[in-house]
């Protein structure tokens, strides 16, 4: 890689909010960015040097991106890993490695891989038929989580079977076997936490403060930082995160979601081989953000030391339920009148129910102070659309 | 102004590093930016929505900028204020107001204005001829600072007369009366400090932690934050800054440079009606940066509360003395191996001796820790050019 880092051209597969925030960090150091996204109006579009409009699975477009860049990364794991492997073979730098990506894309394979490396995960089983599913419900009982092994995010591709009556419905909802499925034992967790962690090419590791996630309708609703867990749990979680990064040989920033149980056990839930919604708090909350750290790792630079600036919460701004069409942001001025409120608005042209269109980070001297402010912000900032549905 | 702040279009006169860093902040909130700059390759070029290539004094280009935008601001004070006044009269929003700008552009007028508002400044006198200058040297003694009243920055347009022999030379160097000149009594200061301060449209004021400046060859070499001054001096400086913003009716972020004397008097040296090099530390050093604050003020939003994250120093990266041509950054990887080192590289295509091409902010648990790191960074990061001179 060029020793003059300002001459390095970075290609990103995906120009959504994660890509956009990565570009904003890299531009501080004068980095050149080319982004591949199907949408010419994607959030990153207005700040990239070049935009290639194309599908994440289109081999020709991915190759075009590679030819223009010194290193490729991605903001989204559901992309064409096979093409990336070919490109890597022919000498292109890709971080995280497509071999790492392949281990993660299929959730059943991901869990098998973790298990074989003694990383604790919930019990699971691959489901090939309705009969398999029936048997699994007998074995594991309910509630039981049915998941498609590929392509899911924000709860899409997940079905929580709460009674035996729902088995067929769940099987139908997830494609009746068209896509590979798995079941996962329901973990009665007391907390869901995220460990955002960076690993450099020389194997150096830097973990961000653990954070705690609250979901609503399967979408991340709020992240609380730092997570309110004791030292035993925190140490277990960090050790698991480091071990996971090592066995995956991950280079870049990853998000490792974990469950904490009543017995203070920590299990790995899911891995995102990329920056993550639950790490957005790092922009204002930490000395270096997840995006800045990711840029450092893919440029083969030493990682930045992470320090927490202040506690707080991050809430997502989702499109209001009963609107679509051209997005309109309301209440921003009122929300920003509160102390330590930071608005991120992704610039998506249209809204739809529950679409992620922005987030707000709220700092406080204590988490409770931030909570109080968050409650007001949540009721103040709204994104509506031109069309009422 | 549109209540949906993401729909507001901001015009910036100037696309240098200050404009670039302003855009990077505004893009977080999805703001649209149009920039006017004479250079199509200016630092902000790659991240703006529209670039108008044209001179800062070209009335047609400035009008074009105004027509495209809801509000205009600037990164540089030596621009065509008359055109801005006309535009303001015809209903365009311009922050800071061009009337404020007019009070600042002419340094003699600036000082008269401050003096008439009981804001302490060094003694000064307008110089209309060589005779005037000779008389002034008699009155004030040497050293005496001869300044052109307009257009100077980074010490350009300043001449420090150290003995009677230098009077004619100084007069010649500053244009022999072609430009309006002034002399300023030399203040035997113990410290030069900057007060970066924001004022909103409703008159709300937010001051950043005072910082301390060290110059070399008239160019800012290092900023130390927070300034090592006692409470008496800090209070005086903040009160002066607030009063200055009020009498100027300034809207936006300003930098007020001050001298601190041995007697703990504080005098206003110069005012920049814009974000400033000595405020770059706020990006990593504070909860909100000077650029984020400026964006808030010109969007007519409430100002953000300022909190210091950590102490440290900011050093400028200047083009090495004996190079010009295509710029090449060396040593970045090595410098970034130190903890809490943040590189900003503006993306200027070419370098020349002492050209400001970037800066590095270095945080520490103490200023001394940051100093030690800065010493290493200074000797590591260099910008050279293709051509040795």
CATH number for the domain including B142?
3.30.1490.20
Structural domain count of chain A: 3
The pLDDT of residue A38 is: 97
CATH number for the domain including B328?
3.30.470.20
Mean pLDDT, range B260-280, rounded to an integer: 97
> A181 and A196, same structural domain?
no
- Name the nearest CA neighbour of B356 among B252, B253, B217, B226: B217
For residue B365, give every residue at least 6 positions away whose Cβ sits within 8 Å of its Cβ, in sequence order, or none. Answer: B310, B311
> Cα-atom radius of gyration of chain B, to the nearest Å?
21
> B37 and B79, same structural domain?
yes
- Does residue B153 carry a pLDDT above 80? no
pLDDT band at B286 (very low <50, low <70, confident <90, very high): very high
CB contact under 8 A, B333 and A284: no
Q: From the CA of A340, how many Å to the nearest CA of chain B?
A: 6
Q: Which residues of A touch B287 (CB under 8 A)?
A: 284, 309-310, 340, 363
- Does residue B177 carry a pLDDT above 90? no
Instruction: Answer yes or no: is A145 within a domain.
Output: yes
Q: What percent of chain B has pLDDT over 90?
A: 92
How is residue A332 written in tokens? 């921003």
Instruction: Answer yes or no: is A102 within a domain.
Output: no
Q: What is the pLDDT of residues B180-237, one digit of tens each?
A: 899 999 999 999 999 999 999 999 999 999 999 998 877 889 999 999 999 999 999 9
> A240 and A282, same structural domain?
yes
Nearest CA in chain A to B348: A30
> B287 and B196, same structural domain?
yes
What pTM was computed for the model?
0.96
The pLDDT of residue B185 is: 94
> B270 and B305, same structural domain?
yes
Q: Of B74, B94, B114, which residue is a domain's last?
A: B94
> B131 and B78, same structural domain?
no
Mean pLDDT, range A333-338, rounded to an integer: 97
* Best A30, A364, A376 residue to mutate vs chain B (most B CBs within 10 Å): A30
Q: From the CA of A209, how many Å to the nearest CA of chain B?
A: 16
Q: What percent of chain A has pLDDT over 70?
A: 99
The pLDDT of residue A152 is: 63
* DSSP code per residue over B289-313: -HHHHHHHHHTTPPPPPP-B--EEE
Bin B177: left if φ > 0, else alpha if -120 < ψ < 50, else beta: left
Q: Of A150, A165, A185, which residue is a domain's last?
A: A185
> B370 and B241, same structural domain?
yes
> B338 and B241, same structural domain?
yes
The bridge status of strand A211-216 relative to strand A219-225 is antiparallel
Instruction: Answer yes or no: is B345 within a domain.
Output: yes
Binding site as annotated, residues of B for ATP = 107, 147, 184-187, 192, 215, 269-270
Q: From the CA of B350, how many Å to the nearest CA of chain A?
A: 13
- Does residue A252 carry a pLDDT above 70? yes
Q: Which residues of B touch A5 (CB under 8 A)?
A: 329, 332-333, 345
Q: Which residues of B touch A336 (CB under 8 A)?
A: 296, 301-302, 304
Choose between A285 and A157: higher pLDDT. A285
Give me the domain span that covers residue A302.
191-388
Nearest CA in chain B to A347: B30
CB contact under 8 A, B346 and A47: no
Mean pLDDT, range A5-28, rounded to an integer: 97
Instruction: Answer yes or no: is B103 within a domain.
Output: no
Instruction: Answer yes or no: is B99 within a domain.
Output: no
Q: What is the pLDDT of residues A20-37, one digit of tens each?
A: 999 999 999 999 999 999
Measure the CA–CA gap between B192 and B207, rounded to whole angstroms. 17
Instruction: Answer yes or no: is A339 within a domain.
Output: yes
Is A186 annotated for ligand binding? yes
Q: How many CA atoms lie within 13 A of A328 on its CB side?
A: 11
**Cα B38 to the center of its chain, rounded Å:** 19
Q: Which residues of B touch A337 (CB under 8 A)?
A: 302
Instruction: Answer yes or no: is A104 within a domain.
Output: no
- Does residue B156 carry a pLDDT above 80? no
- Does residue B388 carry a pLDDT above 70? yes
Q: What is the pLDDT of residues A254-304, one digit of tens each?
A: 999 999 999 999 999 999 999 999 999 999 999 999 999 999 999 999 999
Mean pLDDT, range B36-61, rounded to an integer: 96
3-state secondary structure of B51: strand
Mean pLDDT, range A359-364, rounded to an integer: 97
CB contact under 8 A, A296 and B336: yes
Tell me the pLDDT of chain B averaged across its residues.
95
> A202 and A170, same structural domain?
no
Report the residue from B287, B339, B340 with minimal CB separation from A340: B287
Residue B27 is given by DSSP the state: H
How is residue B81 written in tokens? 């204020």
CB contact under 8 A, A333 and B24: no
Is A184 annotated for ligand binding? yes
pLDDT band at A150 (very low <50, low <70, confident <90, very high): confident
In this structure, what is the dihedral angle of CA atoms A194, A198, A204, A210, given to the nearest 10 degrees? -30
Report the residue from B27, B347, B363 with minimal CB separation from A287: B363
CB contact under 8 A, A27 and B24: yes
CB contact under 8 A, B302 and A32: no
ipTM score: 0.95
How is residue A12 written in tokens? 């990103």
The pLDDT of residue B155 is: 63
- Name the nearest CA neighbour of B34 among B42, B23, B43: B23
- Does residue B108 carry a pLDDT above 90? yes
In this structure, what is the dihedral angle of CA atoms B159, B164, B166, B170, given to the nearest 10 degrees? 40
Instruction: Answer yes or no: is B22 within a domain.
Output: yes
In this structure, what is the dihedral angle of CA atoms A285, A286, A287, A293, given to the nearest 10 degrees? -130
CATH number for the domain including B86?
3.40.50.20
Mean pLDDT, range A224-250, rounded to an integer: 98
A77 close to A151: Cβ distance less than 8 angstroms: no
Q: Of A158, A185, A212, which residue is a domain's last?
A: A185
> A201 and A161, same structural domain?
no
Measure the CA–CA gap between A247 and A259, rounded to whole angstroms. 20
Q: Count residue pairs from A and B with Cβ separation < 8 A.
A: 126
Mean pLDDT, range A194-207, rounded to an integer: 97
Q: Which residues of A touch B363 (CB under 8 A)?
A: 287
Report the residue from B29, B305, B342 with minimal CB separation from A344: B29
pLDDT band at B151 (very low <50, low <70, confident <90, very high): confident
> B363 and B228, same structural domain?
yes
> B65 and B137, same structural domain?
no
């Amino acid at each position: 890689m060029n020793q003059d880092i300002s001459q390095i051209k970075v290609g990103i597969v995906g120009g959504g909010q994660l890509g956009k925030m990565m570009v904003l960090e890299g531009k501080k150091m004068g980095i050149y960015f080319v982004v591949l996204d199907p949408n010419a109006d994607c959030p990153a579009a207005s700040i990239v040097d070049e935009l290639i409009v194309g599908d994440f699975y289109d081999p020709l477009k991915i190759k075009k991106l590679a030819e223009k860049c010194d290193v490729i990364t991605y903001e989204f794991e559901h992309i064409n890993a096979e093409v990336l492997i070919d490109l890597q073979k022919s000498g292109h730098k890709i971080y995280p490695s497509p071999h790492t990506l392949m281990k993660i894309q299929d959730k059943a394979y991901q869990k098998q891989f973790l298990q074989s490396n003694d990383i604790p995960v919930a019990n699971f089983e691959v489901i090939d038929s309705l009969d398999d599913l029936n048997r699994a419900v007998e074995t594991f009982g309910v509630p039981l989580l049915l998941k498609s092994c590929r392509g899911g995010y924000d709860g899409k591709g997940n079905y929580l079977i709460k009674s035996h009556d729902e088995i067929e419905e769940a099987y139908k909802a997830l494609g009746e076997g068209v896509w590979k499925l798995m079941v996962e034992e329901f973990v009665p967790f007391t907390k869901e936490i995220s460990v955002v962690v960076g690993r450099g090419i020389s194997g150096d590791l830097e973990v961000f403060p653990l954070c705690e996630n609250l979901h609503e309708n399967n979408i991340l609703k709020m992240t609380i930082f730092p997570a309110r867990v004791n030292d035993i749990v925190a140490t277990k979680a960090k050790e698991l995160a480091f071990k996971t990064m090592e066995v995956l040989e991950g280079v870049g920033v990853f998000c490792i979601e974990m469950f904490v149980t009543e017995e203070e056990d920590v299990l790995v839930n899911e891995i995102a081989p990329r920056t993550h919604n639950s790490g957005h708090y790092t922009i204002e909350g930490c000395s270096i953000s997840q995006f800045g750290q990711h840029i450092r790792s893919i440029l083969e630079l030493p990682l930045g030391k992470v320090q927490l600036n202040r506690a707080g919460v991050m809430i997502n701004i989702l499109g209001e339920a009963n609107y679509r069409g051209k997005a309109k942001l309301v209440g921003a001025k009122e929300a920003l009148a509160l102390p330590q409120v930071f608005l991120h608005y992704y610039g998506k042209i249209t809204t739809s129910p529950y679409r992620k269109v922005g987030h707000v980070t709220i700092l406080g001297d204590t988490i409770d102070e931030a909570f109080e402010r968050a409650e007001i912000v949540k009721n103040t900032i709204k994104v509506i659309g031109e069309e009422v549905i």
